[in-house]
Structure 1
Amino acid sequence: MTIETFPGSSGYIDAGPDRKITYFSNTYVLGLTVIAGIGGLLFGYDTGVISGALLYIRDEFEAVDQSSFLQETIVSMALVGAMIGAAAGGAINDKYGRKAATLLADVVFALGSFVMAGAWNPYVIIFGRLLVGLGVGVASVTAPMYIAEAAPSEIRGGLVSTNVLMITSGQFLSYLVNLAFTEVRGTWRWMLGVAAVPAIIQFFLMLFLPESPRWLYMKKSKSDAIVVLSKIYDPYRLEEELDQLSTALEEEHQRKNAVSYLDVFRIKEIRLAFFAGAGLQAFQQFTGINTVMYYSPTIVQMAGFHSNQLALLLSLIVALMNAAGTVVGIYLIDHFGRRKLALSSLSGVIMSLILLWGAFYFESIGTANIGWVAVLGLALYIAFFAPGMGPVPWTVNSEIYPESYRGICGGMSATVNWVSNLVVAQSFLSVAEVVGTSWTFLILAAIAVAAFGFVFLFVPETKGLSFEEVEKIWKERAWGKSSSHLESLIENNEEP
C-alpha cells in the first residue's frame, strides 16, 4: 500500500516507526484539541456562573426573590436542557458529523446567552437557560468524541482530558467573571451574556477545522479522511490506521440493520460497554463533585467560616485546585492508565469524605469545632477527584464504543451524567437537612466505595489501545473467547 504525503502535514513524515508520540509532539492535533475544547469551557462556565448571577437576579426581580421554586428552576433549567441536548447530540453526531454538531451547539449556546442578557422577566431567563443547556449538552457529547477520533491512541487520554481541563477552567473563569462584574451596571446580564463570546470564537475557528477523520472515512469521503490523517501520523502509522479503518468499515457494511437505541441493550458487547461507560458517568456525579462545586461556599460556612467574602475566596481556591488537578490527570491518564487512575482517585475520595464526616460529626455533637478539618477535607477531595474521576469517565466514554455506536452511546452516557448531576444538585441540601451534614458525607463515602467496586469489576484498562482493540475487549467479555494475543496486549498496556 502506497501512502502519499500532503501539504501542511505534521513533522511526522520523516519519523520512523519507533518515534515516541508525546502530548506536545504534534501541534496540529493539539490545536484541534484546544479549539474543540472550547465546548468544555462553555460547559464549565455555565455550571459555575449562575451561582453568582442568581444573587443579582433576585435583587432585580421580586418574584424570584420571593420564590424558591423560581430560583431552583433558573438554576436547574440548564441541566434539563443539557439532558435533552446530550440525548439528541449522539444522533446529530452520527448523522451530520462532529464538526456540524459543534457549530450547532455554538449557535444555540450564543443565542441562549443573548436571550438571558436581554431578559425582561424571569421566564425569559428560564428560556435562555434552556437554550444554553441544549448547547452545553450537545457540546458535552461532541468535544471528547471529536478529540478522541483525531488523537493517536498513545496520547488520546491526555488530549481528551484537555477538554475536562477546559471544563474546570470554565468554572474558575465563571467565579472570576462574577467578581469582575459585581460593581458594573446590569451585573447579572453581563455575567450571563459574556458566555456568548467563546461560543462565537469557537464557531468561526471550527469553520477552518476538518471533520473528524474517522467520521469522514466511515460516512463521507475516504480521500478527505486520508488528508487529515496524514497530518496526524507518519507514513508507517498512517498505513496501519487506514487498515484498521478499512476493516471497521467492512464490518459496519456487513450489519444488515440500521443502528438503533434498542441495539445498545440487545447486543451483548455494546450493552457491556454502555454499562461501564454510563456507570462511570453516574458515579462521577454521585460521589459528590458538584456538591462541592455548587455548594462549596455553603459547606465552608457550615464549617464555621461565616464571612461571605471568605467563603467566596475559599470557593475560588477550590475551583483553582480542580483545574490544577486536571492538569496532573492529563499526564497520569496515559502513563498510569484509566482504570488504575480511577481506582486511586476513588481511594482518596473515600478517605476525604470520611474526614469531612468526622469534622461535621464531632462539631454536631459539641465535642469540638474543627472547621479547618472540613476545609482540609474539601481540599483533599478535590486533590484526589480532579486528576482521576474528573477526566476518566469522559475519556473512557470517548473510546470504548464501536464507531457506529459511538454517537448514540456517547450521547446516552452523557445524558446519564446530566441526570445524575441534576439529582445531586437538587437533593444535597435537602438530604443534609434531614440526616445532617455529617451523615450526608458518609452516604457519599459509601457511594464512593460502591464506585470503587464498580470500576474494579466492570471497567477494563484501555490505555494505549486502538478503537478496534478496545472493541475486541468487549467481544471477549461478551462471548468468553480466549485470545492470548489480546491478553498480552492488555497486560503490556497496563504497565505504567
Structure 2
Amino acid sequence: MVSKSRVYNWYIGLLSAGCMVLYGYDASVFNAVQVNDQWKNWFDHPEKNKNLLGLINTSYSIGAIVAGWFLGGPTADFLGRRWGMGIGCFITIIATFVQCFAPQHQLGVFIFGRVLIGIGQGIALTAGPVYIGEMTPPEIRGKVMSFWQLFWSVGSFIAYWVNYASSQHVKTLGEWTWKMVVIFQLLVPLIIICQLPFIPESPRWFIQRGNRIDDARNSLRRVRDTEQQVEDELLAIREAITFEKEVVSGSYVALWKDPSVRKRLLLAFVINIGQQLSGQGTLNTYSSTIYKSVWPSTKTINLINAINATCGILFTANAVWTVDRFGRKALLIVGALGMAVCMLVVPVIGLETPTTATGGKEQPVGIAIVFMLFLFIFFYKPTWGATVWVYTSEIFSMNVRSQAVGMCSQMQNVAQCIFNQFFPQFFANCGLKAFFFFMSTNMCLAAFVWLCLPETRKVALEEVDVLFGGQNHQEKGGNILDVADAHHAQLGVDNVVGTDDKIAPVVHHDETSREIR
C-alpha cells in the first residue's frame, strides 16, 4: 500500500513540475501563431523578413538567459524555492497580457512581452527542478523529475489544440484566432500560485538559510514515512552544508573554486546545449515552416502539430518507468542514436522523392516524413527531453545547486537563441539537407555520454559529489560535527544539534516523542 507521505511527495512534485507547462506552452505558441494569417496582418507580415522572424523567437531566450544566469539562483536561494516558482509564474501572467494586447502594428510590444515571459520562466524553471530534487527521496526522484519534461509536452499539447480549435472558427474569432492561443497561458501559472502557500519549503533551504533545524524537521515530516528517515536525512543535510560552508565555500564562488563542481558545470553545459542541437528545439519552433515544404495546407499543419503534441505526452511517460530502471546514461545513449537515425532518414526521403506542382510532396511521402519526425520525438522525449533535466537537477551540491541549475538549464536557451536565429536562413538555403547537421550532432552526443558521464541513478544528493571526483560531503561534514555514524541519526541518544553558529551535543531520552531537540 502506498503511504500517505509518498502520495504527498508526488503531489508537491507534480505541482512544481507544472512550471514546465509554462515553457512548453510558450515554446509552442510562437510556432503556432507564426503561420496564422490574422497574426501576420496584425503585425504587418514579419514572416517576410527571416532575420526578424528569428529575432521574435529568440527574444524569449534572451529574457530566459538573463533570468537563469543572474536572477533565478539568487531568488531561489535567498527567498526560497516556493517564492522562486511564485515570482516566475506572476511575471509570466503579466507578460501574457502584454503579448495578447499588443497594439496593432506594434510588433515591438509583442517582442517585449516575449522577453518578459522569458524572464518569468527563467526564474520559475530554476526553482522548480531544485525543489523537486530536494523534496523527493532518491528512489522516486527520477520518476518525479520525468514529469518535468512530461509537463512540457502538456503545455505544448494545450497550445497546439487551442490553436487548432481557434483555426476552425476564423470568421467568428477574427484577431482572437491568435490571441486566444496566447491568453490561455494564464491558466497554469494561476493554478500554481494558488497552491504554493500550502506546500512545505525545502528543508535544505531552511538549513542553508539560518540553520533553521526545527523548520527543516517539520518540512521533512510531511514528506517522509518515519521519524528515523526524517532524522537521517536531516543529519545528512546538516553534514553536507557544514562541510560546504567550512571547507569549500558557502557562496557561488564554489562554482569556480571547486574542481569537481567545475567539471559538473562543464558536463551539464554540454548535455543542455546538446538537448537543443539534437534537433528538437528547432523542430518545435519551426515545425510549421518545415511542414510547409511538405504539406501546403495550414489546417493540415495545425492538425499534425496538435497530434504531435499529444504523442509527446505519451512518449515522455516512458521516462517514468525507464529513468530509474535503466539509469540516466543508458537512456541518453539510446536516445541520441535513435534520433541520429531519424535525422538521416528524413532528408533521404525528402531528397529522393519528387516535388509536386504545389511545392509539396505526394501524400505517401509526406506521411513517411511526418512518421519519422514522430519517431524522433519517441526517442527524444524520455531521454534527452526528460533525462537531461533529471541529471542536471541532481548532480550539484547544495551550496551552488540553484545557481548551477539555472545556468545549465539556460544553456538550452543560449544554444537555441544562436541556432534559431539563423535556422530560417539555413533551412531556406539547404532545405531538408539541414537535417544532416542534427544527425551528426546526435552521434557526437552519444559518444560524449558514453565517455564522460557517470551514472547517478538512486544516489543521494549529499553523496553525488564522489561520482565526479569530489569528496563525500556527508561523511566529511559528519567528521566536522563529530557524529558517530554519518549516515544514520540515533534516536533517543546523544546527537549533535547546531544552534546558530554553535555545534552542541544534546542528550534526549524521550522514547515517546522520539524526537531530537
TM-score, normalised to structure 2's length?
A: 0.82
Say if 2:252 is the partner of 1:260.
yes
Measured after TM superposition, the shift of residue 365 of structure 1 is 10
Say if 2:312 is the partner of 1:316.
no
CA distance in structure 2 between the aligned counterparts of 1:295 and 1:70, rounded to whole angstroms: 14
Structure 1 match to 2:14: 34
Structure 1 match to 2:466: 472
Equivalent residue letter for 2:380: F
SS in 1 for 2:102: coil
Matches within 5 A, 1:190-209: 190-209=180-199
Q: What value does the CA root-mean-square deviation take over the aligned residues?
A: 2.3
Q: Which moves more between the two structures, 36-45 or 210-219? A: 210-219
Matches within 5 A, 1:178-193: 178-182=163-167, 183=169, 184-187=173-176, 188-193=178-183
Say if 2:437 is the partner of 1:443.
yes
CA distance in structure 2 between the aligned counterparts of 1:74 and 1:301, rounded to whole angstroms: 19
Say if 2:140 is the partner of 1:148.
no
CA distance in structure 2 between the aligned counterparts of 1:28 and 1:356, rounded to whole angstroms: 44
Structure 2 match to 1:410: 405
Question: Gaps (5+ residues) in structure 1?
Answer: 1-9, 13-24, 479-496
The correspondence for 1:281, drawn from 272, 276, 283, is: 272
CA distance in structure 2 between the aligned counterparts of 1:99 and 1:332, rounded to whole angstroms: 29
SS in 1 for 2:458: coil
SS in 2 for 1:389: helix
Equivalent residue letter for 1:300: Y
Say if 2:110 is the partner of 1:125.
yes
Is the 1:293–1:319 contact (alpha carbons within 8 Å) kept by the matching residues of 2?
Answer: no
- Please list the CA deviations of residues 238-260 of structure 1 after superposition, one character each: whole Å capped at 9, or x if unmatched: 23212211211220231475523
Equivalent residue letter for 2:244: E
CA distance in structure 1 between the aligned counterparts of 2:336 and 2:53, rounded to whole angstroms: 33
Say if 2:379 is the partner of 1:384.
yes
Question: Gaps (5+ residues) in structure 2?
Answer: 473-517
CA gap of 1:267–1:365, structure 2 versus 1, over 3 A, is farther
Equivalent residue letter for 1:62: D
Q: Which runs of 4+ in 1 moved over 6 A?
A: none
Structure 2 match to 1:22: none
Structure 1 match to 2:95: 112
Matches within 5 A, 1:395-406: 395-406=390-401
- Please list the CA deviations of residues 118-155 of structure 1 after superposition, one character each: whole Å capped at 9, or x if unmatched: 22222222221111111111122111111111111011
- Please list the CA deviations of residues 191-243 of structure 1 after superposition, one character each: whole Å capped at 9, or x if unmatched: 22221232122112112222112212222422111112112222232232122
Measured after TM superposition, the shift of residue 397 of structure 1 is 0.7
Is the 1:94–1:404 contact (alpha carbons within 8 Å) kept by the matching residues of 2?
Answer: no
Structure 2 match to 1:243: 235
Say if 2:363 is the partner of 1:372.
no
Is the 1:290–1:424 contact (alpha carbons within 8 Å) kept by the matching residues of 2?
Answer: no
Structure 1 match to 2:495: none
Measured after TM superposition, the shift of residue 461 of structure 1 is 0.7
CA distance in structure 2 between the aligned counterparts of 1:61 and 1:397, rounded to whole angstroms: 39
Equivalenced residue count is 453
SS in 1 for 2:385: coil
Equivalent residue letter for 1:254: E
Structure 2 match to 1:50: 30
CA gap of 1:476–1:37, structure 2 versus 1, over 3 A, is closer
Structure 2 match to 1:428: 423
CA distance in structure 1 between the aligned counterparts of 2:429 and 2:201, rounded to whole angstroms: 50
Structure 2 match to 1:172: 157
CA distance in structure 1 between the aligned counterparts of 2:179 and 2:448, rounded to whole angstroms: 43
Structure 1 match to 2:282: 291
CA gap of 1:206–1:322, structure 2 versus 1, over 3 A, is same
CA gap of 1:294–1:364, structure 2 versus 1, over 3 A, is farther
Structure 1 match to 2:340: 350
Measured after TM superposition, the shift of residue 299 of structure 1 is 2.6
- Please list the CA deviations of residues 24-58 of structure 1 after superposition, one character each: whole Å capped at 9, or x if unmatched: x7111111012112211111111111223342322
Structure 2 match to 1:84: 66
CA gap of 1:351–1:33, structure 2 versus 1, over 3 A, is same
SS in 2 for 1:469: helix
Equivalent residue letter for 2:256: F
- Please list the CA deviations of residues 312-339 of structure 1 after superposition, one character each: whole Å capped at 9, or x if unmatched: 2122222222221111112111111111
Is the 2:337–2:446 contact (alpha carbons within 8 Å) kept by the matching residues of 1?
Answer: yes
CA distance in structure 2 between the aligned counterparts of 1:76 and 1:47, rounded to whole angstroms: 11
Is the 1:59–1:65 contact (alpha carbons within 8 Å) kept by the matching residues of 2?
Answer: no
The correspondence for 1:233, drawn from 221, 224, 230, is: 224
Equivalent residue letter for 1:102: M
- Please list the CA deviations of residues 418-472 of structure 1 after superposition, one character each: whole Å capped at 9, or x if unmatched: 111222322333223333422x111111110110111111211111110122111
The correspondence for 2:214, drawn from 220, 223, 230, is: 223
Equivalent residue letter for 1:448: N
CA distance in structure 1 between the aligned counterparts of 2:297 and 2:33, rounded to whole angstroms: 19
Is the 2:282–2:416 contact (alpha carbons within 8 Å) kept by the matching residues of 1?
Answer: no
Is the 1:157–1:330 contact (alpha carbons within 8 Å) kept by the matching residues of 2?
Answer: yes
Measured after TM superposition, the shift of residue 295 of structure 1 is 2.3
Say if 2:449 is the partner of 1:455.
yes
Is the 2:276–2:416 contact (alpha carbons within 8 Å) kept by the matching residues of 1?
Answer: yes
CA distance in structure 1 between the aligned counterparts of 2:465 and 2:3, rounded to whole angstroms: 30
Is the 2:99–2:182 contact (alpha carbons within 8 Å) kept by the matching residues of 1?
Answer: yes
CA distance in structure 2 between the aligned counterparts of 1:202 and 1:308, rounded to whole angstroms: 34
CA gap of 1:364–1:436, structure 2 versus 1, over 3 A, is farther
CA gap of 1:126–1:299, structure 2 versus 1, over 3 A, is closer
SS in 2 for 1:334: coil
CA gap of 1:73–1:238, structure 2 versus 1, over 3 A, is same
TM-score, normalised to structure 1's length?
A: 0.86
Is the 2:51–2:422 contact (alpha carbons within 8 Å) kept by the matching residues of 1?
Answer: no
Structure 2 match to 1:3: none
CA gap of 1:297–1:436, structure 2 versus 1, over 3 A, is closer
CA gap of 1:298–1:185, structure 2 versus 1, over 3 A, is closer
